[in-house]
Homo-oligomer: A and B are copies of this chain.
Amino acid sequence: MNSAKVAVVGASGYSGEELVRLLSLHPTAELVALTSRQFAGQSLAAVYPRFTGTRYGGLEFVGSEMAPILGSGARLVFLALPHGVAAEFAKPLVAAGLRVLDLSADFRIKDPAAYEEFYGEKAHAPELAAQSVYGLPELYRAKLRDAELVACPGCYPTSIILPLHPLVKARLIDVATIAVSSVSGVSGAGRTVKADFLFAECNESVRAYGVPKHRHLGEIEQELSLAHGGPVMISFTPHLMPVTRGIHTTIFATLSPGVEPGRIGEAMHAAYDREPFVRLLGPSSLPDTKHVTGTNFLDVAWRHDPRTNRVVLLSAEDNLVKGAAGQAVQCLNVMCGWAESTGLL
């Protein structure tokens, strides 16, 4: 396999840090530049002691400007930046012929009006969003191979879209009845220095937020609408719980009239049996975030309740891996023609 040089722009948050951890273990990707406004001039190990003595511990952060990125020889660039800022970087990088994997929300939503509805501001680069590929390899593997710009999904959307997609596509469930409750670890809030995320405020606490209209609904409903072939609107309530990593999602939906419950499992197996990172659990298991922490797996289970004719879908992932950095590396593998699990298993 050929190797490829990559850069990470904005490696000062948890997703960026996780990306560097995964790239340290990757046999064919070579990290050649790390940028951070805040840490320019310091080594990776000086900023994140965890990396001392590892492959990139001595790599120095450069400033977040075009020149050092372009000069690094990187052919692919990960953007781990706040939304809005990411678009500013993506434009010149794509223009310069580099392939970009963006972990922000800037290119996930194709419809600028939808972006504006959910983010409360104008879409930052709608023309680029239009040509981007949504970075869910399970759905867009073929398009990812030649993608110039990949919009990596949000953490919640990955855990919601994948379990629902085969059922929505096959019209096995009534899309008007979908209700989703997710619980996320606190790293999902990023390294945001706010009182809300202090240890003593999060420990021994669980609370909902973003009710009833969390931003991630934009991309979730976009992908479900595409699968359904018509507009889908769902309910979604995220919660914060006292773990560092992990998202658990529970989805309720009513079966479409006349659908045999057994078809749920058939659709799931048809969709995911050959996927390296979606694990369908058997009838005696339910997902548990601790089984996926540090891995790129999404664990999925389902149960039909004959009393209500609802199906309950359950999934678990590591929000920083399959929900962010790991999925981006999975996309990288597809883009570079490497085995999809390279560096991830």
Stretch at the interface among A81-89, A161-169, A304-312: A304-312
A111 within 8 A of B: no
Range class of the A interface residue count:
35 or more
- Kindly list the 7 A-B residue pairs having the minimum CB-CB distance in the complex, ordered from nearest: A212-B305, A181-B181, A205-B290, A207-B288, A199-B202, A179-B252, A186-B199
Interface string of A239-259 (1 = CB under 8 A from B): 101111110101010000000
Task: Tell me whether A193 is interfacial, beta carbon within 8 Å.
Answer: yes
Measured in the bound complex, the distance between the Cα atoms of B52 and A245 in whole Å is 20
Q: Is B281 in contact with A49, judged by CB distance below 8 angstroms?
A: yes
User: How many subunits of this chain does the assembly comprise?
Assistant: 4
A206 in complex: contacting residue of B191, B288, B307, B310, CB < 8 Å? B288
Q: How far is the CA of A54 from the CA of B294 in the complex (A)?
A: 13
Measured CA separation A239–B183 after assembly (Å): 10
Q: In the bound complex, do residue A245 and residue B204 qualify as a contact, i.e. CB atoms below 8 Å apart? A: yes
Docked Cα-Cα span, A314 to B238, in Å, equals: 12
| Chain B residue at minimal CB-CB distance from A293 | B204
Complex CA–CA separation, A304 to B235 (angstroms): 11
Which residues of chain A from 289 to 344 have a CB within 8 Å of any chain B CB? 289-295, 297, 299, 303-305, 307-308, 310, 312, 314, 316
Are A186 and B209 in contact, CB atoms less than 8 angstroms apart?
A: no
Please indicate the chain B residues that have their CB under 8 angstroms from the CB of A285 in the complex.
49
A173 CB, nearest partner CB in chain B, Å: 13
Given the complex, which residues of B lie within 8 Å of A212, measured CB to CB? 303-305, 307-308, 310, 312
Residue in chain B with minimal CB distance to A207: B288
Pick 20 A–B contacts, CB within 8 A, sort by A: A49-B299, A50-B290, A181-B237, A181-B252, A185-B200, A198-B199, A199-B201, A200-B244, A203-B242, A203-B243, A203-B244, A204-B243, A204-B246, A206-B243, A207-B286, A207-B287, A212-B307, A212-B308, A237-B312, A241-B242
Cβ contact within 8 Å between B310 and A208: no
Q: Which of A226-276 contact B (CB under 8 A)?
A: 233-235, 237, 239, 241-246, 248, 250, 252, 276
* Contact partners of A208 in chain B: CB under 8 A: 248, 250, 286-287, 314
Q: Is the CB of A193 within 8 A of B191?
A: no
Contact A206 B237 (CB under 8 A): no
With A183-B183, A207-B288, A250-B181 given, is the CB distance from A198 to B200 under 8 Å? no
Query: In the complex, A2 Cα to B42 Cα: how many Å?
Result: 39
